Structure 1
Amino acid sequence: MSAPDITAADLKVFENSGITDHSTILLGAGASITSGLPDWNTLAVSLLLRSNAVKQEEVAELLLNHQDPMIVVESAKVESGESWDVLLKECLYADSVPVAELIPSALHRAVVGHFLAKPDKTSLVTLNFDAILELALENELEGAIKVESITSGAQTEKIDATQVIEVHHLHGIITPDYANDVILTFTDFAQLIEQDDSWQVKYLHQAVQKGALIIAGTSYRDPDLRQWLFKALQEKPKGHSAFVLLARQAFNLTKERFHQIKPALSSQWRAIGLVPVFVNDHTDTAQIIRELRHANSEGYKSPDERCKEIWDFHQTHFHKKQYLYVAQLSEQAFYLKEIFDTTQIDLSLWISNGDGKLVKLASMGRIYNNVDVLKVVETGHDSEWIAGQALGSDDTLLVDLEENITRRWNSVVAVPVSTEHPELPPITNAVITIGLPLSIKEALPVLGYITEPGLAV
């Protein structure tokens, strides 16, 4: 995650918001897409094709681009008839990562961490059909507590979250084995919106009564969610807030363009009763949620402040750290040359300066004389540099480079590096890049042996 982008001002908005009383976290599709499941348009196209409502993918895309997608999908439901549930299961999972290999995203894991820190003061709710959030909980709990998916107003009989953990699915659930209470087509939404006393309305009303509501990973285009929240927010107590976390990545805009539209975005969200929190990358949202339970504590320092402290330390001890890191990189290179069976390899360490930039602090075989000569690049999902992209993705990136007569390397592996803190969440503030003379396909069989180098501060 691009932790250096998250400032004290970003987190200050959560003060006096009811979050210390209770927090309800509502997840949208953005959480599951990064785990390998299809987004709405991809799912809709698959439904149209597999139901034979249309025969060609371009026709399906044309329909979706020029009509309300929820109405378009009605044709798939009609064509599938009694096989609708079967079609839903096939389309959600068949073309994605095998279910057994689905891995909870950084956002799923962050939400689980927030919940487990204060299970009696946290509620979990999702718009997603999948049960990846439940999987993330089960992975963490290792069977110690039962996790249940709730798709109706009925709740399990429990005293507290130490007995059963509930994940409420506002739009139903689809697993490889069954589909329950699915809300997907225009008819589904219209019928649900007609119900003034639906369990979803009651649930969200209770959420804002108890404390803060945090919406993450959703475009907020579902008509029922808009209506439910409009009703719920009209009666929220003073001092309780509802937040929507908005990532620049979801808008597919440059940093400059995103900055230009922020005032309008802020006005429109506040006008409908939600407090917008702007971040750059999807994984920033996960870091925000990790920080929430610490942000009001005495002496708290935001991720960008922690990153700046680490960078200042490296500037103060620049020469000492240069020799140390170059030695460590050279040692690691010797190990990797044996693994990849090559005589050529290049390792570099990049570190955030806490001001939206990534600095190439050390490279094997080179000693820099001062900070001013170091390469500085942009960070984020759309950075021109692979190291900058890795910092913003929280994932190891494997990239084949374009052919270039002057280039020595055919591929680059970029590994994000986290720095631990004794009291606060870890922050990803550095990246190791590995230049290889091999293609990713050639290197892939042995890439699993690479261990993440630690950043010794």
Structure 2
Amino acid sequence: MSAPDLNAETMAQFRDAGVEQHSTILLGAGASITSGLPSWDEFATSLLIDSGAVDKRSAELLLARQDPIIAVEAARAADEATWKQRLRDALYKSVGTLASLSPSPLHLAAVGHYLERKDRRSLVTLNFDVLLETVLEDETKTVPIAVTNTDKRKGEHSVHHLHGIITPDETHDVVLTLNDFTTLLEKQDAWQVNYLRTAVTKGSLVIAGTSYRDPDLRQWLHAALKSKPKDHKAFVLLAREGFGVSKKDFGELEQALSSQWRAVGLHPVLMQDHTDAAQIIRELNHVNKKDYISPQERCRLIWESHVRNFEVLQQEYVGELSKNVEELKKCFKVETLDATIWISNGDGGLVRWASHDRIYRTLQALRVVETGHDSPWIAGQALAKDTEIIRDLSHHPTRRWKSVVAFPIPVAHPTLPLVSSAVLTIGLPKEKELYEGDSVNWAEVVGDIADEWTFRLYEGVYSGEGA
């Protein structure tokens, strides 16, 4: 399952849930891990090792056998004087600077949702980074305010950081170790709990990208939800990607996961990938419209249009892909490559619809592959991650291509958000290392070609005879 498979039943949960009155989006680590920042365990491991408290093996043993917020106390105790600097080093050492980070689909979706109706939308995060602020500044050309305490600073746009901020240059109000959490929880009137209480009173709360293991968040929400009106829901978006389990195992856990979250007063929405949560957030401003149809239904409109016009579109798409190949050979500086269009069938599968060098005669000849962040197919991964990727292919004596570039193709709707409904893949004759360093010469060309396919798919369904 990827964003194209979010069905009417899933999206109906957000209707009449307080979203229209007000919605607060709360992002956890899942948003920033996708951008390249370390997971909580990776961050804690770096702190323990870099402080000299323990070696790598001992750090792994500590984190495997006890709560990480206790384990990192050892890192802090090793040298309190340099603690803030070591926090910055551990968070950013693998990426260098903020400029080298790309906001994730969750960051982009949350800011997009906020900007559509900023008078009735709020942004909150458990993360230390300022990627939400980066997106806001890019979109609005104004400098947003990062709120970390009870100060009364106001700006046109604000992001509330419940656990403080760490940038490559500054550290403010960080909540990380057991002592930090304990001290904060002793405050009966902490600004964080008051903020969350206000959020659920005004409308809905949507939590995404967090495992909910922070003790303060649990206590704050327990207190805040007591004052929540019955028709205001607090959602937690649970992606299989965040649990690191297989589809089979996740299926076996679904009932227990739903039960445990409902027991603590939250409404669970289960999905496969972090980007599914991003698509849900993009949909929130539309779910109460009378003419609303789910991402899955929109993708099925595209698929059914292709099925109805199979023979015509086979010829047309092969011709267009052949033109694309000539452009792509120049920018990749190769004599041969493969270009293929894959289309979601809105039923959990991604269909290899057309390649530049062949025409399929029947629907039955089309290959269907699974989608997801852990799909064995690169096209399936690109659709699930909703971002361009480049991967090496495993060696096989009959395989012509050594690596693949995959670009998701978002398709618009006349009144509803974009949904990535197709993928363009480019098979290349050498390993990815040869092309990664030269991306400045091909990324824009591939992006322009993907944009052309975006428009072509839209036109085929929503204008002319395809409407």
Same-fold call, TM cutoff 0.5 = yes
Q: Could you say which residue in structure 1 is the equivalent of 2:144?
A: 147
SS in structure 2 of the partner of residue 278 of structure 1: strand
* 327, 346, 358: which one aligns with 2:319: 327
**1:169-318 mapped onto 2 (5 Å cutoff):** 169-318=161-310
Q: Give, as a single letter, the amino acid of the residue that structure 2 aligns with 1:30.
A: G
Q: Return the alpha-carbon distance in structure 1 between the equivalents of residues 227 and 133 of structure 2.
A: 30
| 1:160 equivalent in structure 2 | none
Partner of 1:447: 442
CA contact (8 A) 2:16 2:288 kept: no
Q: How many angstroms does 1:134 deviate by?
A: 0.7
The answer for the alignment partner of 1:123 in structure 2 is 122
> For 1:294 and 1:4, how far apart are their aligned partners in 2?
16
Per-residue CA distance 1:325-348 (angstroms, 9 max, x = gap): 000111111222233333321111
| 1:68 Cα deviation after fit | 1.5
How far apart are the structure 2 equivalents of 1:447 and 1:61? Answer: 41
Q: Deviation at 1:373?
A: 1.3
| Alignment partner, residue 346 of structure 2 | 354
Q: What is aligned with 1:387?
A: 379
Residues paired across the two proteins, number? 449
Per-residue deviation, 1:381: 0.9
The residue identity in structure 1 corresponding to 2:252 is: Q
Of residues 331-340 and 43-52 in structure 1, the stretch that sits farther from structure 2 once superposed is 331-340
**TM, length-normalised to structure 2:** 0.94
Question: Using the alignment, how far apart are the partners of 1:4 and 1:135 within structure 2?
Answer: 28
How far apart, CA to CA, are the structure 1 residues paired with 2:162 and 2:131?
15
Matched, 1:110 2:112: no
Paired-residue identity, %: 52
| Native 8 Å contact 1:38 1:96 kept in 2 | no
Structure 2 letter corresponding to 1:199: W
Q: Given that residues 350 and 362 in structure 1 are in contact (C-alpha distance below 8 angstroms), is that contact kept between their aligned partners in structure 2?
A: yes
- In structure 2, the residue corresponding to 1:434 is in which secondary structure? strand
- Residue 214 of structure 1: SS of its match in structure 2? strand
Deviations 1:272-306 (A, max 9, x none): 00000111111111100000001111111100000
User: Residue 13 of structure 1 corresponds to which residue in structure 2?
Assistant: 13
How far does residue 399 in structure 1 lie from its aligned partner after superposition?
1.1
Corresponding residue of 2:37:
37
CA RMSD of aligned residues (A): 1.3
User: Secondary structure at the residue paired with 2:229?
Assistant: coil
> For residues 167 and 80 of structure 2, what CA distance do their matches in structure 1 show?
19
- Shift in Å, 1:209: 0.8
Deviates more, 1:407-416 or 1:283-292: 407-416
Secondary structure of 2:343 counterpart = strand
The whole-number CA distance in structure 2 between the counterparts of 1:97 and 1:302 is: 39
For residue 410 of structure 2, give the secondary structure of its aligned residue in structure 1.
Answer: strand
Q: 1:290, 1:341 → 2: CA distance?
A: 38
Q: Distance in 2 between matches of 1:154 and 1:449?
A: 43
Unmatched tracts of structure 1, length 5 or more: 158-162
Distance 2:403 2:363 in 1: 27
**Corresponding residue for 1:365?**
357
Equivalent AA in structure 1 for residue 129 of structure 2: D
Deviations 1:12-31 (A, max 9, x none): 11112111111111111111
Separation (CA, whole Å) in 2 of partners of 1:242 and 1:193: 21
Deviation at 1:431, TM superposition (A): 0.7
Tell whether the 8 Å contact from 1:2 to 1:428 is kept in structure 2 after alignment. no
- For residues 40 and 383 of structure 1, the distance between their equivalents in structure 2, rounded to whole angstroms, comes to 25
- 8 Å CA contact 2:341–2:354 kept in 1: the answer is yes
* SS state at 2:144 partner: strand
Whether the aligned pair in 2 keeps the contact of 1:44 and 1:69 (CA below 8 Å) is yes
Aligned counterparts of 1:97 and 1:434: Cα–Cα separation in 2: 30
Q: Which runs of 4+ in 1 moved over 4 A?
A: none
State the match for 1:26 in structure 2: 26
CA distance in 2 between partners of 1:379 and 1:104 (Å): 22
Aligned to 2:87: 88
What residue identity is the alignment partner of 1:118? R
Aligned-partner Cα distance in 2 for 1:214–1:432: 32
Q: Deviations over 1:136-177 (max 9, x none)?
A: 10010112xx410111122325xxxxx521111111111122
Secondary structure at the counterpart of residue 451 of structure 1: helix
Q: Which amino acid aligns with 1:37?
A: L
1:449 shift after superposition: 4.6
Q: Distance in 1 between matches of 2:15 and 2:98?
A: 39
Amino acid at match of 2:35: S
